[in-house]
Chain A
């Protein structure tokens, strides 16, 4: 028998199986992505048609590399949180749902790591 009150149970473990953490993480990563995405769009537009030397020089600056890493981290965190909700909404077969969630989580980590390591390579090649 649990000593927790019904209200305490609902607050800690509603039908969503967790509290408001997911909601907050999605909003905060969205907020961070507003300036990061706008900055990246301006940068990419001005790099249109640029050759390797120009892109490497651009990504080789510590400020640009730092912002790129933040952009990659926030993007994949936000993307995972969003895709997670879509899978939970539309995939009703439990095994398939868990497999899908794990696959998307794994892919997000691998892609984010590949992106961050590429940025670091460009940064240290220049230094």
Chain B
């Protein structure tokens, strides 16, 4: 049986990038990133349960430039996945499917994730006493 004449899905490359499609794949990418990021959460909890020495090592690792960079990325991934997840729940309820609404809610999600990420880090540094 020949399959050469079957219709193909259009190749992704021919599409102009749009806010809706870019945010859709970003939801998946941040979801995977967060799943990997749970390793850090569990390491942090296990270190705290193991005692002061193990916890100090964990804090040092998280506090290093590389650790902070990773944590910053995960903060954004978390707030993005959270905000866009709420957008998805509205869609699941049958709301917000009009093109203009979907584009606007998309930009609102981008704005909310950036604001929440920056706010968390500013507040975090403030509670550390500007360290």
Q: Which chain A residues numbered 47 to 98 have a C-beta less than 8 Å away from chain B?
A: 47-49, 51-53, 55-56, 59, 68, 72, 75-76, 79, 82-83, 86
Chain B interface mostly helix, strand, loop or mixed? helix
Number of interface residues of A (CB under 8 A): 37
Number of B positions contacting A (CB below 8 A): 34
Known: A37-B78, A52-B51. A115 touches B41 (CB 8 A): yes
**CB neighbours of B41 from chain A (8 A):** 72, 75, 115
Q: Is the CB of B48 within 8 A of A46?
A: no
SS class, residues of chain A in contact with chain B: helix
Chain A residues near B99 (CB, 8 Å)?
A: none
Nearest neighbor of B71 in chain A, beta-carbon distance = A44
A111 at the interface (CB under 8 A from B): yes
CB distance from A63 to the nearest CB of B (A): 16
Report the bound CA distance from A86 to B27 in whole Å. Answer: 11
